[in-house]
């Protein structure tokens, strides 16, 4: 993705973030004012306390907004560093760590994952198929659902046979996110036959996403 477009989207997100926090602050202020006893309200109106409370609230809201913007920029810088490491890494272990970090930290902003390049899906498929760490196989399956690339459907179907139920559950859910029509039969089998209730639940959720 073009970096200028990405940063433009980021500024838009920050604007929404600021407006959301201001709205929350106003709603909280109205709520607190509404539940105050009448005598307290009269005292606040008559003295300097109302002004002091308004100033204090303004300072608090400003602090929250500034901290939020700072945290978002810090995350963006970390994201760009990790994406660069992923693109340039030749060590499979380093690729794996970078790929799983990106998925974990940017699952709510999937368009950012384009920064990692087209190899991201292949690395996640490799991890899901063959990694010895069962939790990492599950995280990779989840990540393939986040990416939303139909190229991952055959590998995800294979992962529904993984010995670890959490991998099967995440693979089933990812197939649902991909609206994978070829997975309908396998998902029904999981719903009927899998011994683990979490796998059956995820398979049912996935099938509902596909067939409506």
Written in H, E and C, the secondary structure of 113-135 is HHHHCCHHHHHHHHHHHHCCCHH
pLDDT of residue 1: 38
Q: Which residue has the higher pLDDT, 44 or 11?
A: 44
Rounded-to-integer distance, Cα 61 and Cα 70, Å: 14
Q: For residues 172-191, give the mean pLDDT.
A: 97
When pLDDT is cut at 50, 70 and 90, the band that residue 13 belongs to is: low
The pLDDT value recorded for residue 85 is 93
What is the rounded (10 degree) CA torsion for 48, 50, 51, 56? 120
Question: What was the pLDDT predicted at 4?
Answer: 39
Reading the block at residue 193, the tokens are 């036959």
Q: pLDDT value at position 7?
A: 36
Cα torsion for 17, 21, 26, 28, to the nearest 10°?
A: 140
Residue 148 has phi, psi (to 5 degrees) of 70, 25
pLDDT bracket for residue 9 (50, 70, 90): very low
CATH 1.25.10.10: which residues of the chain? 92-212
H or E element in which residue 201 lies: helix 197-211
Kindly report the average pLDDT of the chain as a whole number: 85
**CATH number given to 92-212:** 1.25.10.10
């Amino acid at each position: 993705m073009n970096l200028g477009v990405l940063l433009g989207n980021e500024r838009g997100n920050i604007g929404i973030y600021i407006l959301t926090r201001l709205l929350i602050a106003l709603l909280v202020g109205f709520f607190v004012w509404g539940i105050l006893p009448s005598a307290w309200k009269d005292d606040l109106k008559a003295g300097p306390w109302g002004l002091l409370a308004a100033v204090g609230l303004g300072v608090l809201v400003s602090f929250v907004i500034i901290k939020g913007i700072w945290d978002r920029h810090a995350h963006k810088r970390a994201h760009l560093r990790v994406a660069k490491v992923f693109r340039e890494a030749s060590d499979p272990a380093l690729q794996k760590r970078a790929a799983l970090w990106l998925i974990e930290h940017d699952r709510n902003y999937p368009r950012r994952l384009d920064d990692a390049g087209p190899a991201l899906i292949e690395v996640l498929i490799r991890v899901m198929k063959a990694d010895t760490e069962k939790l990492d196989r599950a995280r990779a399956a989840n990540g393939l659902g986040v990416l939303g690339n139909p190229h991952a459907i055959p590998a995800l179907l294979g992962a529904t046979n993984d010995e670890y139920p959490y991998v099967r559950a995440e693979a089933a859910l990812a197939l649902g996110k991909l609206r994978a029509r070829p997975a309908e039969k396998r998902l029904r089998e999981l719903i009927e036959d899998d011994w683990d209730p979490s796998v059956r639940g995820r398979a049912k959720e996935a099938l509902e996403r596909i067939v409506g």
